[in-house]
Each structure stands twice: as C-alpha cells, then as structure tokens.
Amino acid sequence: MATLERADARRNRARLIDTTAVLFAESGIDVSVREIAREARVGVATLYRHFPTRDDLVDAVLQAAFDELTAAGARALAAEDSWAGLTGLVEETLSLHARNRGLRDAFDTRRGRERAAAMRADIWPVFAELVERAQAQGALRRDFTAEDVWLLFWAADAVIERTAAVAPDLWRRQLTLMLDGLRAPATSPLPHPSLSRPQLEQVGRRPRRSSQRSVSGSD
C-alpha cells in the first residue's frame, strides 16, 4: 500500500511540474495555484504538500531554464570577442524570455527561493564582466554600465509582451537597433547617468502588471 501511495505521489508531483511549466511559460509565475491544481487534476492541498509555497514551485519548475541561462553565460565568458559574447548572451537571454514568461518573471523579480536566487546572483557578474571586457576591447561605449543591461532587457521584454501574438520575432529587430547604439564608434553624450545598483533594485521591485495574484492562489 505504501509503495502505491509513493508512486501516486510521484505521479502527482510530475504532473504538477509539467502542468505548471506550460502555464508559467504562457502566463508567467503569478498564475493562480487553483488554476495549476485544476489543470493538473489534483487538489490544492496536494499541490501544497509537494510545494509548500509558490516560490518552491518556481524553483522546481524553472530549474531547466535556469540551467540553460547559466550555460549561456559560460559560453559568453568563453568567447574571445567580448562584444560577441555580451550581445550573444543578451540575445540568448531574451530568446529564453520570449519562450518562457515564467523565466522572465523570475529573472527580474525576487520570486523563487534558492535556485532562482542563485541564478540571479550568478548571472549578474557575468554581464558585468562582459561589459568591462567589451569596453576594454574598444567595442562598447565607455558610459554603458552593467545596470544598463537590465534596462535593455526591460525595454525588449515590453516589445516581446506587446507583439507576441502579432509578430513574435519583432524583438530581434528592436534588439539590433538598441545594440547598434551601444557600439563605441556610434556614441553621443548621454543626458542622464546610469541607475545605481540600489536604484535598479528599487525599480525592479515594482510590479510590472497592475494586479498581482496572491501566493495563496485566490482569484
């Protein structure tokens, strides 16, 4: 009997992860836990037995995406041409964002526990190092900062979100236009300084949508 119960529990966990992965990719990590449980054909209590909080679920469901982003960062650091490494990582990150709205939410918010936090902590210094290298090689304008990378992502993410149903690859055009403006030979004086790291974190904590569903999953 205990063996059957364990097998049933494993099936329920796998069904929850598979279902949540689809919902996160389509709708983001604020999807209601009631909807997740309904789509997975389990009770809400079963969901909470496996994942006591939504952030536990975020970590479990997005682990593969976190690993993919970490691997992209390693490839970028290995590139001899730092401009190619930096711009390639930006493009790969946005491509992941376009395919998986849940990763986008976890990437620029504080959602998720240890795994999501580790992903954010690992990827930040990668971008900072690539910015420094590209500037040292004379390819990137000197007044661009690592904090500006996040603003670039937010701008591109807005294009992804607004045009997904009409022109899902339009963000690539917008990204090319933005990156061309970062090349060192094309620089013009900037009218405003970069955000500081504390300012960036303050902006990042502001909700991107007007309504946020609660962790309890109430609709």
Q: Which two tokens stand for residue 96?
A: 């992941």
Which burial class, exposed, middle or buried, applies to 19 when counting CB atoms under 10 A from its CB (0-12, 13-18, 19+)? Answer: buried
Q: How much is the pLDDT for 35?
A: 96
Which bin fits 138, alpha (ψ -120 to 50), beta or left (φ > 0)? left
For residues 149 and 196, the model is more confident at 149
Would you say 25 and 65 are in contact if contact means Cβ atoms under 8 Å apart?
no
Domains in the chain with CATH codes: 2-61 (1.10.10.60), 63-204 (1.10.357.10)
For residues 110 and 127, the model is more confident at 127
Model confidence at 189: pLDDT above 80: no
Model confidence at 8: pLDDT above 90: no
Produce one character per residue of 169-204: b if its CB has 16 or more CB atoms within 10 Å, e if not: eebbebbeebbeebeeeeeeeeeeeebeeeebeeee
pLDDT in tens, 61-85: 999 899 999 999 999 999 999 999 9
Angle between helices 63-78 and 114-136 (to 10 degrees): 20
Model confidence at 17: pLDDT above 60: yes
Q: Could you tell me the pLDDT band of residue 114, with boundaries at 50, 70 and 90?
A: confident
Would you say 108 and 204 are in contact if contact means Cβ atoms under 8 Å apart?
yes
pLDDT in tens, 124-176: 999 999 999 999 999 999 999 999 999 999 999 999 988 888 888 899 998 99
Instruction: Give the largest Cα separation in the chain, rounded.
Output: 72
Q: Could you tell me the pLDDT band of residue 206, with boundaries at 50, 70 and 90?
A: low
Alpha carbon of residue 6 to chain centroid: 33
Separation between Cα atoms, residue 112 and residue 105, nearest integer Å:
10
Model confidence at 53: pLDDT above 70: yes
Residue type, position 88, single letter = G
CB atoms within 10 A of CB 71: 11
Q: Is the pTM of this model over 0.85?
A: no
Model confidence at 109: pLDDT above 90: no
Place of tokens 């709205």: 101
Model confidence at 19: pLDDT above 90: yes
**102-111 mean pLDDT:** 85
Q: Could you tell me the pLDDT band of residue 1, with boundaries at 50, 70 and 90?
A: low
